[in-house]
Every structure is written in C-alpha cells, then in structure tokens.
Amino acid sequence: MDFKKEDENYIYGVIGRNVKKYRKLKGLTQAQLAEKIDYSLSFVAGLESKKHQTFSLGALWRISLILEVDMYKLCIDEEQEKLKPKFLPYVCENCDYHTDIPIELIDIVSKANSLNYQSKDIYPSFTCPDCNSKLTYKE
C-alpha cells in the first residue's frame, strides 16, 4: 500500500524501501538481516513490503547498525529527493549575466553565513564573474 506524504504512515513506506535497498547493497537476504537483528523473517518481510508495518526506534537503530548506514538515511525519501532542483538560477543585477548555481553550494554558503539570514527563503548572493557586481537568486 502506498501512502500519501500527508499520511502519518508515509514514513513507514520510505523506511521499508530504504531498508530493502541497503540490505541488498550489503548482500544480505531478509532472513540474514532478521537473524542479525534478532527479529523474525516476517518482521523484515513486512517492513520491506508495501503493507503497513510499525516498528520501534530501537528496531530501526539495530537495523541501521547491521546495515552500517546512518539511521537518518533510512528516513530519506529518495524519490522526493530526485524531484528537488539541483541548481538555482542566478542573475547579475548589473550586466544581466545568467548562471545556474548548484544547490549544494548555496546550502554551504547559507550555512557558513547563517547569522546573516533571517529565513531559509533568502538565498546568498555571489559575485558576477563578468562585472564583479552582485549575482542574486531569480525565481
């Protein structure tokens, strides 16, 4: 069963998909993972299936240890991450120079200058390579 993002059960599907992905990357079967975390095969199968399977944070912690992956990575919806923009458009205030800046760079600069920003919606400015004026985010 697929849950909508607004549904509180949505995260269970995300975690189930990620557990399956990282389990396979580790080369483990469901039975092997179940044995290593000391849970039943039906628990692991239910967790990875499209049906709703609840679990404790303790179970998630044990799974993350066995799979050698940070627990938060099991909670990231990679399908949604793929839809996020990778670049943001910037334009020079003086010479109309246009460029796309990687979102990772924008995040790094924003975090480094976090005291200067009031809101996550305000992006940092950069220097125009053509005229040394200010490059700003353009929606």
Tens of pLDDT, residues 85-123: 678 899 999 998 999 988 878 877 877 766 444 454 578
Strand partners, 28: none
DSSP per-residue string spanning 115-130: GG-S-TTPPPPEE-TT
Which sequence spans correspond to the domains of the chain?
10-81, 85-137
Q: What digits encode the pLDDT tens for the residues 30-40? A: 999 999 999 99
pTM greater than the 0.75 cutoff: no
User: Which helix (H) or strand (E) is 72 found in, with range?
Assistant: none
What is the architecture of the domain spanning 10-81?
Orthogonal Bundle (1.10)
